[in-house]
Amino acid sequence: MYIYDIVAIFIIGISHVLLYFQLIRYNRLSYAMIIILSVIFTLLLGIVVSVTGYPEFNIIMFLLFLLSLGLMQIELTFMQNLYFTLASMVSITLVKMVLMEIGMKLFMWSSLNLYLWTSSIIHLIAATIIFISIIMLRKPIQRLAKYIVVSRQYYYISYVLLSIGLFVVLILTVPSTNVLGTIYQQYSHVGYIIAFILFFILLLMILIGFHLMKEKLLEEQQDRLDDALMDYVETLEIMHDELASFRHDYINVLLTLDEGVRTKNIEQIEHIYYGVIAPTSKLVNNYKLDIVKLSYINIPEVKGLLSSKLIAAQHENIKVMVDIPQPIEEIAMPLVKFIRIISILVDNGIEEAVQSRDKILQISFFALEENQYFIVRNSTEQRDLDLELIYQKRHSSKKGNRGYGLYSLKQMIDKTMNATLETNLKDSRFTQTLILKK
C-alpha cells in the first residue's frame, strides 16, 4: 500500500462522516472536529482489520460508528438514522468504485506509462473528487435528505436499494469469513455488475429526487406567497371598510360643523372641534400613517405580510412604529426563509407587547454598509429573562403547547451562513436584531 492509498483512505473516512452529518442535517460540529473524529476512527479501523484479518469489519464497524453519531440528532428515528447511514456508506463506496474504474480505463486508453502506484494515484483522485463534491453540494444534500424523510414512496424504494447495496459492498471487500468468502469467490463478478447497476439506479433516483424536491419547494413557496397575498388583500379590505366608515362619520361631523358656522355658534364649533376633530386627527396620525412607510419595501410578499401583522397589532391597541429609511429592493437570503423568520419575530413581538403596560411595537428595516438589519423591539413586563433558554425546544413563558417558534427560528438562523440573530432585554424593551450579510 502506497502513501497515496493511506491519504485516500483518510479522505474517504472524512467524506463518510461529513456526508452523514449533511444527510441528518446536524451542523453543531465544526469541520475540524469532524476531521479529528474521522481520522481517529479510521486509524482504529485499520488496526482492527490488520489484527483480526477480517476486511468486512471495515464496513460493519464504520456502519455502527455512523449510527452512534446519529444519536446526536434526536429528531430522527433509528430507522431514519440507519437509512442515512446506508446512504453514506453505499453511495460513497459505489461512487469510488465507479470513479476508480473510469480512471483506470482512461489511463489505459492514454499514452501514459502504467506504474505500480498508478492505481493508488487514481484512488487518491477519486477520494478527493468525492470530498470536494460533498463540500460543494452540502446545501442540496440537506434539502434532498429533508424531502426523503417526508416522501414515503421514495424513502422505502431507496431503502431497499441501499440495503442491497450494503450487502454487495460487504461482499466486494474480499471478506475472510467462510460464508461471505465463499459468496465472493463464486459471485464476485456478478457483484461488480450489480454494484454498477445499483450505482446508476441510485444516481437516477437522486436526480429524480432533486427534481421532485424542487417541485415541492416551489409549491410550498407558491402557497406561502398566496397566503401572503390573501393577507394583503384582507388588510386592504379592512382599511377600505375603515376608510368608508371614517368618511361617513366625518361627513356627519362636517354637516354639524357647517350648522355651527352658519349660525355662528362658537360654542358648538369648539365642542365639535375639541370633542371630535382633534382626537380623530391624533388617531389618524398614530394609527395608520406610520404603516405607510412599508411602501419602501419593494417586495410584495414581505410588504403584504408586515402590513397584515401590523394592522392586526394596531387592532390590539398596540402603538406601532415603523422605521424604513430607504427603499428595500432585495433580501440577502431566500425569500421563503426570510418570511418565516420575520413572521416569528413579529408574532412574538406582538404577543409580548399586547400583554405589557406600554403596548409598543417598533419595526426597523434598513441596510448599512454590507449588512441588512431587520429589528423588532417591543415592550414587555418581563424583567429577568434567560436569553439562552428562550431558544430551547418547548420553552415558553405562555401557557399551552408553545415554545416552538423561537426554537425553529434558531434552527433556521444556525443553518443560514450569512445570518445572525442578536437578542437584548433592557429597560422593559425586548429587542431582536436579524443581521444579514449581503
Give the pLDDT score at 400: 42
Q: Are strands 419-426 and 319-323 parallel, antiparallel or unpaired?
A: unpaired
Give the C-alpha separation, 275 to 289, whole Å. 22
Nearest 5 degrees, angle CA 186-CA 188-CA 194?
Answer: 125
Angle between the 78-109 and 118-136 helix axes, to the nearest 10 degrees?
Answer: 130
Q: Which of the listed ranges 55-59, 346-350, 422-426 does the model predict with the highest average pLDDT?
A: 346-350
What sign has the CA pseudo-torsion 162, 164, 168, 171?
positive
Residue 411 has pLDDT above 90, yes or no: no
**Cell representation of residue 191:** 457483484
- Contact status, residue 428 vs residue 379, Cβ threshold 8 Å: yes
Place of cell 479510521: 42
* Cα 307 to Cα 238: distance, rounded to the nearest angstrom: 11
**Rounded Cα–Cα distance for residues 73 and 28 (Å):** 10
Whole-number Å distance between alpha carbons of 367 and 436:
9
74: amino acid identity, one letter = I
Model confidence at 108: pLDDT above 90 = no
Helix or strand or coil: residue 88?
A: helix
pTM assigned to the model: 0.57
Q: Which pLDDT does position 377 carry in this prediction?
A: 93
- Per-residue pLDDT tens for 10-40? 999 999 999 999 888 887 778 888 888 888 8
* CA distances (Å), origin 207, targets 93, 110, 201, 398: 18, 31, 10, 45
The cell for 238 is 379592512
- What DSSP letter does each residue of 314-342 carry, written as one string? HHTT-EEEEE--S-B---SS-HHHHHHHH
Q: Tell me the chain's radius of gyration from C-alpha atoms.
A: 31
pLDDT at 386: 58
Q: How far apart are CA 214 and CA 206, in angstroms?
A: 12
How many other CB atoms sit within 10 Å of the CB of residue 346?
22
Would you call 138 helix, strand, or coil by DSSP? Answer: helix
Q: In whole angstroms, give the CA distance from residue 172 to residue 180.
A: 9
pLDDT tens digits for range 308-337: 888 888 888 888 888 888 999 889 888 888
Q: Is 144 or 279 the better-scoring residue by pLDDT?
A: 144
With beta carbons less than 8 A apart as the criterion, state whether 130 and 96 touch: yes
> In a 10 Å sphere around its CB, with 0-12 CB exposed, 13-18 middle and 19+ buried, how is residue 309 labelled?
buried
pLDDT (tens digit per residue) in 43-59: 888 888 788 777 777 78
Give yes or no for a contact between 261 and 277, defined as CB atoms under 8 angstroms apart: no
322 or 278: which leads in pLDDT:
322
Instruction: Tell me how far apart the alpha carbons of residues 88 and 92 are, in angstroms, rounded to a whole number.
Output: 6
Smallest CA-to-CA distance from 70 within 17, 121, 32, 120 is with: 17
Strands (E), 317-395: 319-323, 360-368, 371-379
287 against 261, higher pLDDT: 261
Task: Please state, in angstroms and rounded to a whole number, the distance separating the CA atoms of residues 193 and 168.
Answer: 10
| Average pLDDT for the chain | 81
Q: pLDDT band at 131, cuts 50/70/90?
A: very high
- Whether the Cβ atoms of residue 378 and residue 360 lie closer than 8 Å to each other: yes
pLDDT of residue 435: 92
CA distance 203 to 306: 43
Is 81's pLDDT higher than 70?
yes
Which residue, 90, 64, 88, 78, is CA-closest to 14?
Answer: 88
Ranges of beta strands (E only) in 8-115 are: none
- SS3 for 323? strand
For residue 155 the three cell numbers come to 424513502
| Residue corresponding to grid cell 497515496 | 4
Half-sphere exposure of 194 (CA within 13 A, CB side): 19
